[in-house]
Amino acid sequence: MLSGSEFVLSDEARAAGIEGVVNVNFTVDKNGTAKNVNIFAGPAWPCGSSPKSEIGRVREEVKKNIAAAQFFPAMKDGKPVDADLQAQFAIGDAYRKGIKQKEAEAAANSSAPELIDVGLIPSKTVKAVNLPKPDYPAAARSSRASGAVPVQVLIDEYGKVILAGVLSGHPLLQDSARNSACKGKFETVLFRGNPIKFSGVIMYNFVP
């Protein structure tokens, strides 16, 4: 990206707790202009809520932000060409944390971190207390939609999933996977004897 404006969440979106990563694909043409911007997963929002209108507005604003940016075009044989790209667009706290990541790493000390990422869960180090299987939606079953649906989750000090957002997967399967992730409960993760929040990815595999 050569230039672009900072993305700012609306007050309504912040109040709804919308944040995380929006996964997008788009085409950068030979003039460096983004076209055909499509959001295929994300963002995240608090479990137990359903701010559909605000989620839709956030997705549209992300698309507009990318479309308004200027990119350096891909080159082939010394000439600019169109190129299809896939990217992660961080918003809200995820954006702010990404900007501050290097400073946070440099300033790390003996105190407990604000948040750690444990990767794929459940795992040998993070065990699930309760992790229900997702329903197979009728529409997905009739169309034989299948495949993996990874869900990024934020888990509090008590092992409860408090935020969840789908990273990718068939659109007909995403809501079911996220709903199941929100019902998950995990063992507490300790840092130097103290329980802490942590993030990770729950992977659901749908087989017709």
Q: Domain with 200 in it: what CATH number?
A: 3.30.2420.10
Q: What residues are paired with 25 via a beta bridge?
A: 38, 86
Residues 51 and 136 in one domain: no
What is the 8-class DSSP label of residue 68? Answer: H
Average pLDDT of every residue of the chain? 87
Question: Considering the chain, what percentage of its residues have pLDDT values greater than 70?
Answer: 92
Q: What is the pTM of this model?
A: 0.66
Alpha helix segments (H runs only) across 81-185: 92-106, 138-142, 171-182
Query: Containing H/E element for 194?
Result: strand 194-195
Highest mean pLDDT out of 110-114, 149-153, 186-190: 149-153
Q: CA 41, CA 43: separation in Å to the nearest integer?
A: 7
Six-digit token string for 129: 């207390």
What is the 8-class DSSP label of residue 146? Answer: -
Residues 121 and 86 in one domain: no
The yes-or-no verdict on residue 181 having pLDDT over 60 is: yes
Predicted pLDDT of residue 6: 81
Number of domains in the chain: 2
3-state secondary structure of 80: strand
Predicted pLDDT of residue 113: 53
Residues 84 and 139 in one domain: no
Six-digit token string for 167: 């990273």
Number of Cβ within 10 Å of residue 53's Cβ equals 10
The yes-or-no verdict on residue 102 having pLDDT over 70 is: no
The yes-or-no verdict on residue 109 having pLDDT over 90 is: no
Q: Are 148 and 134 in contact (CB under 8 A)?
A: no
Q: Are 198 and 116 in contact (CB under 8 A)?
A: yes
The yes-or-no verdict on residue 110 having pLDDT over 50 is: no
Residues 33 and 67 in one domain: yes
Residues 190 and 141 in one domain: yes
At 54, give phi and psi (nearest 5°). Answer: -70, -35
Predicted pLDDT of residue 108: 53
Q: What pairing do the DSSP bridges indicate for beta strands 116-121 and 198-206?
A: parallel
Residues 136 and 76 in one domain: no
Look at residue 66 and tell me if it is in a domain: yes
What is the 8-class DSSP label of residue 134? Answer: P
Residues 147 and 87 in one domain: no
Q: Which residues are CB-contacts of 57 (< 8 A; sequence separation ≥ 6)?
A: 10, 12, 13
Look at residue 103 and tell me if it is in a domain: no
Give residue-wise pLDDT tens across range 117-141.
889 999 988 999 999 999 999 999 9
Rg of the chain in Å (alpha carbons): 19
Structural domain boundaries enclosing 63: 11-92
Give residue-wise pLDDT tens across range 6-61.
888 888 988 989 988 899 999 999 988 999 999 999 898 999 988 889 999 999 99
Look at residue 138 and tell me if it is in a domain: yes
